[in-house]
Structure 1
């Protein structure tokens, strides 16, 4: 057993595909397959089930992947300890929100690259929003992620970055668009456009509505917050979003929300982040905190 085989196991578990896993670890698919077969022989149990629907972990595979992630993280920490005085190297995997246009994320990452040119960056969102990003950090699939859930994540490091009030997004012809501010009660009987369940902004808003004894109907759900104003403009409903996440759209207007509902943007990481991850967290706080 060697660390390369463990990298193969983790990559296949994440990608659910031998082909994509091979691309991720820069190896031939035959090499990855041979490495997994050798590891399965050594362990005496299959790690993956393969069928027409793709690749799935067996029960043994689920347990092995968890240990493989922990082992690879320990190996990375040992390398960092041996190279404490040298430049930062390695890879930082960051879970992002694609709709935070008020934050110059390319600029932040460009600054990180200038400071640490030997660190590779891997950035991407989660289709289940903050809930998925938290789980990806917890399972070691990500080193750092943005986080917008209202509850603290006790088993991870949390770095608060910014607080954003909610605003209301309405079709410009909507009767409420003539008002300077709108209450949640005004909107309760409307049809809504919102993020899918699990997104931090929706969890926060649902709690604010429930605290006031209000319910709503959300017939249109999206996995990209930035698109919500465009769907509102098309007449599919109303929305309430953190101001930081609103991308203006022709045909939609933004109004103040009368109730003081706020959304907190944070960065989360494992309890023992590597040097490169620590540097990324520090830069995010430097460039984003207080927005």
Structure 2
């Protein structure tokens, strides 16, 4: 067993889908599948049961998972210790982030950064993505972890002074409702069917709110947002109490606080997707200290966001 196999194994255990696990680990789906088969051959036992829709851990896989996570954590800690021993970085780092981005753990990221560079003074601000991008343009932040609609960046690429956005991950939106909703037993839902529902949604500065508003407007559909929140857990609580329904990124629907709610994919799941990325200033890029943090961030491709 090697670290790369453990990384693939953990990603597949978490995502329960080869396509998404391959995207996260930046390997082809065939390469991921071959690595898992090799690992199973080495251990002489199946680690996953495979169906046409998902994969699930076997008993042997569940036994291996905590050890695989521990092995990866130890490897990261070892790398961080080496970096901390060979280099000293001083300065300030001003970071912003929207709440519950799901695809990246900001407390863990900043903890790792602090372990590597303990003399850097870190400040952190949580707000909606629109507000964070404004603060970045004003020079009040060094970088910001934000959510936008997939493709938003490329459509605004020519705006002067627009921050550079490096994409981390893209997730589909799902419709979230109580188990006694008229939609609860549906395998899929259409946007057009949601007119007349009362929605719980985030403040206009949040990335997903902008995506939802544009999705309805583009289809010329009316929508009533009756409850506006600035907190993921409050949104889930309101839906649990049947005060409204919601449209959220898939990671939010997977939170423990969403247990008992029904998450239904959209029939056109690829039409409106939620993109998480890290934004840096346009004029001179990331500062030297911020660049050190970016070294710890998995990313796809850089573009420009308005």
TM-score, structure 2 normalization: 0.61
What is aligned with 2:297?
284
Write the distance in 2 (CA, Å) between the matches of 1:92 and 1:245. Answer: 28
Larger Rg: 1
**Contact 1:99–1:245 under 8 Å retained in 2:** yes
What is aligned with 1:99?
100
Unpaired runs of at least 5, structure 1: 1-84
Q: 1:198-209, aligned counterparts within 5 Å?
A: 198-209=205-216
Q: For residues 268 and 102 of structure 1, do their structure 2 counterparts lie closer, same or farther at Cα, with a shift above 3 Å needed?
A: closer
Deviation at 1:284, TM superposition (A): 1.8
Write the distance in 1 (CA, Å) between the matches of 2:124 and 2:233. Answer: 17
What is aligned with 2:88?
87
State the SS of the aligned residue for 1:240.
Answer: strand
**Contact 2:103–2:169 under 8 Å retained in 1:** no
What is aligned with 1:270?
281
- Per-residue CA shift, 1:235-291, capped at 9, x if unaligned? 1111111113333424422111222221111111113221111111231236x99xx
State the SS of the aligned residue for 2:213.
Answer: helix
What is aligned with 1:191?
198
Runs in 1 of length 4+ with deviation above 3 angstroms?
none
What is aligned with 1:111?
112
Write the distance in 1 (CA, Å) between the matches of 2:236 and 2:168. Answer: 24
Write the distance in 1 (CA, Å) between the matches of 2:108 and 2:203. Answer: 28
| Structural RMSD (CA) | 2.2
Q: 1:133-282, aligned counterparts within 5 Å?
A: 133-150=132-149, 151-152=152-153, 154=159, 155-246=162-253, 247=255, 248-260=257-269, 261-271=272-282, 272=284, 273-282=286-295
- Per-residue CA shift, 1:185-235, capped at 9, x if unaligned? 121210100011121111112111122121100010001234312211111
What is aligned with 1:19?
none
What is aligned with 2:20?
none
Unpaired runs of at least 5, structure 2: 1-85, 302-306
Deviation at 1:179, TM superposition (A): 0.9
